[in-house]
Every structure is written in C-alpha cells, then in structure tokens.
C-alpha cells in the first residue's frame, strides 16, 4: 500500500520510527517478514477543538498490507461468481483506518477508547437518522474530561460494513418499514460484517498490551477486541444524539443486545 511513497522518503520515515510494520500480535516486524499484517504511520499532529479548547491529537493512519497475489486470487473468484471474496478484500484491505489519540495516550494505564465505525452521513453531514455523529463528538469530550483516550476510526465500516451505496438503499427500505438489520439482509448482505481485528492490533501496539475501557454500547465490539487479543477492562456506556428521527434505529439496536 505504500509503494507510491518514494523509497528514500519511506526509508527516512522508517529510521525515524514514523513508519512501522506490525504483525497480528501488534509487534513490529521487518517489512519482508512473512507475518507482516499492517503498516502504521505516525504520529502526525492534528490540532482540533474539543469543548471549545484546542487539543493537538496524535494521528496514526494504518492499513492492511495486501499482497498482489491476494488481489489476483480474489479477482479470479469474482470471475467464478465469488463476488463476496472481492467485497471483503475491498472492505478490509483497501481502506486506511486511523487512531486519533489525545496527548499521553500511549503511556496511559487504562485509557478510554472509542472504536468508531465510519458513518459519512452522520459524522460528516450531521444526519439524525443515527446517533453516530453525536457519539463521536461525545467520545472526544468524555475522553478530554477523563484526561485522555483515543478514537479508533474504522473507514471500512460504513453501514456496519456494507458500504455507502448499499446503506443508502437500506435507508429507503427502512422508510418502507424494515429495521436497520432487516434492511441489510433484504439486500442479501450480513446484518453486521465489520472486522475489528485491525483495531485490536493497533491498540495492542500503541498500548503495549495494556487494557482499555471501551466507550461503546455494543457488547459484541468488546468481544471482538478480546478475541483478537486486546484486553477490555470495562464497558463504558455512550448515549448521545437520540431523537425522533432515530428512535426506531435505537430500538432495533437495543433489541439486538446493545446496552441502551
């Protein structure tokens, strides 16, 4: 994924410790190591306002290392009718995810962490059909009040992993009476196909395998992180942005086990 970076620049970043390759245990390995799983860049300083105060966040973009042979194998499966393999490749391997960490996150003993699934409509355009945008803002605010923390922003999780186009279709199905999960399956897609393994890997590296307090209402999220090696010491509820436009959406999540 970093082949477009000039070799001399890439080498300089590696020497400076700003470009690293991790295996699935969150351990730095050589780029040519067979266990290489992820490329991690940063920290890159990102100033932003939180509760009216400027805070400089540490930004760590990270992306799976996808071999050309994997792409070619997936392309062959598409030719043979196996479109699912290529969709999984695109959603898991071709998008850059991010950690946005408040100061001193990497030395914190048990920090607040929000693993946030990308929601263009809610996070960027302020849609009230979901609670995603308010949750993201509330997470930063709560972390600042707590003295630190980080948001792990998963770019490939739009619509619980189905993508923006399919998500738009499901909105129309929801307007016709289906709930957010039924609409996904009506399109022949999973209710939830998000993969949290990359989030677990980057957290294990940044925190040196220390535990986190997970800012989430979804118990499946902490289960997925634990299954991928990241300790979760506590589940911290995050309720924000509930309104008449997303009441059915919130009800559906509660019915699926979310702690709302």
Instruction: List the catalytic residues.
Output: 192, 194
Helices (H), strands (E): how many in the chain?
Answer: 10, 9
Nearest CA to 133 out of 47, 259, 240, 254 is that of: 240
Q: What is the DSSP letter of 26?
A: S
DSSP-assigned letter for residue 28: B
- With b for 16 or more beta-carbon neighbours within 10 A and e for fewer, the 93-129 pattern comes to bebebbbbbbeebbebeebbbbbbbbbebbbeeebbb
Q: For 8, phi and psi rounded to 5 degrees?
A: -65, -35
Cis before 12 (ω within 30): no
Beta carbons within 8 Å of 36's beta carbon, 6+ residues apart: 21, 22, 23, 29, 30, 65
What span, in angstroms and rounded, lies between the C-alpha atoms of 209 and 115? 16
* 3-class state of residue 54 by DSSP: strand
Task: Output the DSSP codes for 83-134.
Answer: HHHHHHHHHHHSS-EEEEE-TTGGG-SS-EEEEEE--IIIIIT--SSSSHHH
- Kindly state the tokens that stand for 222: 């902490």
């Amino acid at each position: 994924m970093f082949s477009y970076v000039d070799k001399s620049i890439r080498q300089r970043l590696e020497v400076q410790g700003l470009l690293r390759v991790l295996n699935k245990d969150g351990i730095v390995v050589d780029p040519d190591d067979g266990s290489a799983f992820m490329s991690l860049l940063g920290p890159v300083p990102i100033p932003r306002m939180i509760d009216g105060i400027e805070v400089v966040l540490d930004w760590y973009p990270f992306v799976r290392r996808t071999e050309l042979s994997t792409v070619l194998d997936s392309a062959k499966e598409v030719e043979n009718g196996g479109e699912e393999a290529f969709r999984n490749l695109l959603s898991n391997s071709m998008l850059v995810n991010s950690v946005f960490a408040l100061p001193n996150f990497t030395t914190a003993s048990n920090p607040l962490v929000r693993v946030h699934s990308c929601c263009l409509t809610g996070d960027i355009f302020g849609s009230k059909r979901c609670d995603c945008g308010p949750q993201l803002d509330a997470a930063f605010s709560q972390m600042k009040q707590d003295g630190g923390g980080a948001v792990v922003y998963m770019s490939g999780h739009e619509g619980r992993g189905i993508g923006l186009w399919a998500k738009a279709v499901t909105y129309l199905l929801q307007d016709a009476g289906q709930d957010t999960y039924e609409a996904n399956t009506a399109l022949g897609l999973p209710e939830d196909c998000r993969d949290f393994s990359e989030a677990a890997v980057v957290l294990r590296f940044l925190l040196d395998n220390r535990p986190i307090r997970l800012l989430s209402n979804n118990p499946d999220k902490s289960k997925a992180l634990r299954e991928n090696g990241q300790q979760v010491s506590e589940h911290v509820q995050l309720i924000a942005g509930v309104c008449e436009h997303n009441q059915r959406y919130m009800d559906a999540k509660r019915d699926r086990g979310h702690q709302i």
